[in-house]
Chain A
Amino acid sequence: MKRIALLLLVAACGGTYQAPPPVASIALPDGSQLKPYDPAQPGQARPQGLAQAAGRVYVTLTNQRDGNPNPVNAGPGFLAAFVPSTGAITLIDLGGSDGKQCQNAGSVRTSADGYLYANCSGNFSGTDAARAIVEVNPLSNTVTRRGVIPDGRVPNGVAASARKIWTGNAALPGPPTVFSIDRTSFTADATAPVLVDCQKSIYSYVADVMTIGGDIYALCASDISGELYRLDPDTGAIKAHTTVGPIPTELAGLDDGRIVVVNAGDNTLTVVTPTASGLDARIALTFASGTSNLQDVRAFGRTVFTVASGNNTAQRIDLDAQGGAKVVAEANFGEGAMPWNILPLDDTQAIVSNRGTNTIAAANWVTAK
């Protein structure tokens, strides 16, 4: 019954309405609200992934404090639920009974039946107990299940299919693999992980996985290249793959079946078109600024949204503009904002998660003439 209700909500969210304008900036919780392990050393929200469910937006909070050399997981991973037009926030603790069963929450995605799934990467060692895939019911804003990750793997990205939850392995230096969690038992499948490799010089890892058009797509990233894989959602069997740009970070599906990938290495946007024989990739856009450091891409219909942490900007892109893909609008979120992920609310409005300033901010677009 609960699942049906979720489905209805998901369906209701898929219309063509114009979203209510989001508030300009939402400050995310900090200090004791993030349940620090050491009250004297609380973490900061350091938000990342964004997803919509049940009429709200959900953002993962890594809950880290700055450290030298690496950020330190200062408390459990969180999901923060909010309504963009009002800014009211509800926190969902993903850490379990001891607060340490999920740390460093990264991506969050919605399944077709309305549940939320987030991956917790822990401390990236691949051996800590804070690595997990967490299932959240957005109707009750509670954690319903938690899947433990086998040792040696660092979950990165999450994609839900009807019977599996897929995630990628970001343990360095590799090899890059994807593996699944059975949605019934919510335990990692015993089958061997699927190798989704790409040409590398130093390292390779899985940057993200996503469900697009019923299939699972996995993005292998390396220091010199990238490869997009199309996998069977039930078995993980590789159906096709194609080379994209170096150090790809994220991917997104358009409603016409095309897939877009942003490549941080060379500041490009790749468009991948599924064909009968496989996947056809081409570079659609090279960003003019050499400092973009592309972090995310999302799509609403056929409008593409990207975010660049290097210069604190987000872009709205018309892929089919005359003369080729074109940035039609750009927004700046201020010095030090470090926007990380973006979520389109409709074909013109979008919000970003700012890792630097620990805020959710609405894009105030400057439109190209």
Chain B
Amino acid sequence: MPPSRVFPRYLLPFAMAAAAAARAQEPGETIEVQGERRQGSPRAPAAAATVVDMAQFGGEVRSVAEMLSTAPGVSIHALGGPGQTATLSLRGASADQSLVLLDGIPLQGPGGGAVDLSTLPATILDRMVVSRGVLGAQFGAGALGGVLELLPRSARGSWTGGAEASVGSFGTERLALDAAMPAGNGSALVALQGDRTSGDFEYARQRTPEISGSPYYGFTRENGDATRGSGLLRISQELSGDLGLDLLLQGSAGVRGLPGPSSAPTPHSREFDADGVAGLRLRGSSGDTTWSMRASGRLDRSELQGVLAFGGCEDGTPDCPRQDQRSSSARAEGELALPVGEANSLHLLLSGGGEWVHGTTGGRRRGLVSAAVRDDLTLAAGFSLHPAVRLDKVGTQNGLSPGITAQWKPAPEHPLSLRAGWGLSYRAPTFTELYLERGGIAANPDLRPERAWSVDAAAEWRLALLTLSATAFWSSYRELILYQLFPPARVKPFNVGQARIAGVELQAVVPLPAHLLATVSYSLLDAVNRADGHKLAYRPPHRLFARLARRGDRLEGYGEASFTSAIPRNAFDTAFVDSQLLLNAGIGVRAAGPLWVDVEAKNLLDKRTYEDLFQYPLPGLSIALIARARL
């Protein structure tokens, strides 16, 4: 059964951007000016945010989940090895409590809930912005832990392109291509990514875990294969005057085995999924006023084969029905940004649409209406204020989400900045939670919305590439929806939780001689069930990430360590997932012209005893060879 949570904060956008800036120029590649800052989300100025720049991970085979896990305040819940389900937790919030937007378009899973990060192709993205905190006022209902914004590669007015191919352990392969070009009165971009893995890694587990020192036995993961193809098309056209038109199409389809927990493997369970997102935006400006209107839609489909409440079954047999689940949404929205005086910028948003879901227990639909207003106020003495309020109507459930962030800098170029934020919002139950019965997971149509508020405060010192930051937050949840064991043998969601989640997020980005850049992030999470004082399950109390990377025009490399402390596995403080330490490293050389060849190794300690929260084994040492070029 699954969940999640919350936190951190701020400062990383810049760390990641700094790392990218530190690397030496590659032929044909645009280099950022040293010290340039990748800003957080324009929708949430001064909110706690981290920018994860994909270029920082050039020459590394990284999934979206792996790159996100480098940021403070982020936890990834991964079901096993490559290509398997991975969900996002921000500041200890559940995956359902974290919005995921692709170029501003909300994504959801096939059940209308959590997004599976493994279905998102990393190479078509330019960067990811992780904004943390209760941000319903800025992004809409559901953003209780925060928001992940996926920003795809941009179209360009000149011909550019790139290719990357990799092969590695467990039959893991990737091929990615992208090309940007002039098109009409604008530009276009096409990006494709294909992934495949056999997922047949070896792992070890004890057969008699209650006997101290009992041996570990070796197993080979079966039915862990995954194949996926993804594509992105972006077209931007400048129309007459100040009008512009942007089209975005993104799609992904995959098939994978569902290997099941190590204690009860499911060798016949499979999943097919497909999703697509389309958005068309008309934008314009008049004087200092800018506006945009966008229509967008999303389709998701998932079909489970050979999946039952008690493990698996053989697809095609009478008692093994396929479970087809589809969800979709469509919405139209208009945004207006108008300056009011010299120190005040007002932003208005109106949005309306609907969402639909269809599963084994029938179809459902509900309307979505939102209205929001946000103000960016520049005050005297280095202060800025960003109040916002948003009304969301999700089906029959209405909610108001107010929020405010503030920032102070002694002077515009001063390295010190202080900021604080507060937000209050709610999350309507997902279709999955309300209506969709799936195997051993029951639905509960009586669920009420979750509600939360949070405060945070941060200090940051930024000088050229050096960034030091510290953030503390405190959040309160009520009507929390938690999956509970439900006799005789199922789990079911209930509004039973009242939680307090507090934490600290620390970040340091330190430039070193020889083109080296050190990055360290630490997250402390104290998630407590207020009903009984026990720790909330599935939230890691401590996460530490450290990375040392070098970028050059002929040689590059990195080494990193990721430590996650023991994680509570149940609601009574008596069961834990063991702590985990992962070491990764890679090195690459520019072989000829724009061609780079890299080799990387993950889990250098070859720990084969690690499992995720649900007894899915994690792979040991893996090695990948990567060739890439960018023109």
- Interface on A for B, CB 8 Å cutoff? 40-41, 65-71, 124, 170, 172, 201-203, 205, 221, 223-224, 245-247, 264-268, 286-292, 310-313, 315, 327, 329-332, 335-336, 338, 355-356, 366-369
Contact = CB atoms under 8 A, between A and B. Distances in A.
Contact of B485 (A41, A247, A313): A247
Contacts of B571: 224, 246, 265
Given A313-B208, A332-B208, A172 B574 contact: no
Given A265-B570, A267-B570, A356 B310 contact: yes
21 contacts: A66-B313, A68-B439, A172-B486, A202-B484, A224-B532, A246-B571, A265-B570, A266-B573, A267-B574, A267-B575, A290-B569, A290-B570, A290-B574, A292-B210, A311-B615, A329-B211, A330-B210, A331-B208, A332-B207, A332-B208, A369-B213
Contact of A69 (B211, B437, B570): B437
Contacts of B287: none
A68 B496 contact: no
A69 B210 contact: no
Given A69-B437, A202-B496, A223 B484 contact: yes
Interface of B: 207-214, 262-265, 308-311, 313, 318-321, 323, 360, 437-442, 484-488, 490, 494, 496, 531-532, 569-577, 615
Contact of B210 (A202, A223, A315): A315
**A71, A247, A335, most chain B CB atoms within 10 A:** A335
Task: State the main secondary structure of chain A at its contact with B.
Answer: loop
Contacts of A336: 263-265, 311
A265 B572 contact: yes
Contacts of A267: 570, 574-575
B190 to A, nearest CB: 40
Contacts of A332: 207-208
B487 A201 contact: no
A353 to B, nearest CB: 14
Contacts of A338: 264, 310
Task: State the main secondary structure of chain B at its contact with A.
Answer: loop
Nearest to A249: B487
A132 B244 CA distance: 73
Contacts of B264: 312, 335-336, 338, 356
A67 B310 contact: no
A327 B211 contact: yes
Contacts of B486: 172, 202-203
A292 B569 CA distance: 11
Contacts of B208: 313, 330-332, 366
B378 to A, nearest CB: 49
**B214, B321, B438, B485, most chain A CB atoms within 10 A:** B485
Contact of A355 (B210, B310, B323, B439): B310
B474 to A, nearest CB: 24
A66 B310 contact: yes
B487 A69 contact: no
B574 A286 contact: yes
A242 B73 CA distance: 42
A221 B442 CA distance: 20
B210 to A, nearest CB: 4
B487 A40 contact: no
B613 to A, nearest CB: 10
B209 A368 contact: no
A218 B575 CA distance: 27
A288 B574 contact: no
Nearest to B486: A203
A65 B263 CA distance: 21
B204 to A, nearest CB: 14
Nearest to B219: A335
Contacts of A170: 487-488
A316 B494 CA distance: 36
Contacts of A366: 207-208, 211, 214
B358 to A, nearest CB: 15
B319 A65 contact: yes
A356 B311 contact: yes
Given A315-B210, A355-B310, 8 more contacts: A68-B438, A69-B309, A172-B486, A203-B487, A246-B571, A266-B573, A290-B575, A291-B569
Contact of A311 (B209, B308, B531, B577): B209
Contacts of A223: 484-485, 496
A66 B213 contact: no
B318 A41 contact: yes
A66 B309 contact: yes
A69 B439 contact: yes
Contacts of A329: 211
Contacts of B320: 66
Given A68-B360, A202-B496, A290-B576, A330 B211 contact: yes
Given A223-B485, A266-B574, A368-B212, A69 B263 contact: no
Contact of A124 (B209, B213, B438, B488): B488
Nearest to A328: B211
Nearest to B611: A291
Contacts of A355: 310
Nearest to A306: B210
Given A69-B309, A172-B487, A202 B570 contact: no
A368 B570 CA distance: 26
Closest 5 CB pairs of A and B: A290-B575, A266-B572, A69-B437, A330-B208, A289-B209
A69 B442 contact: yes
B57 to A, nearest CB: 33
Contacts of B321: 68
Given A335-B262, A366-B214, A71 B574 contact: no
Contacts of A247: 485
Contacts of A288: 209-210, 212
B323 A68 contact: yes
B264 to A, nearest CB: 5
A202 B494 contact: yes
A335 B265 contact: yes
A292 B209 CA distance: 9
Contacts of B310: 66, 71, 338, 355-356
Contact of B319 (A41, A124, A172, A291): A41
A368 B215 CA distance: 12
Given A66-B320, A68-B437, A289 B263 contact: no
A291 B210 contact: no
B381 to A, nearest CB: 50
B315 to A, nearest CB: 13
Nearest to A124: B488
B565 to A, nearest CB: 15
Contacts of A41: 318-319
Contacts of A310: 263
Given A40-B318, A69-B438, A313-B208, A246 B309 contact: no
Contacts of A205: 487
A368 B212 CA distance: 7
A70 B319 CA distance: 12
B490 to A, nearest CB: 7
Given A68-B360, A330-B211, A291 B615 contact: yes
B488 A311 contact: no
Contacts of B531: 201, 224
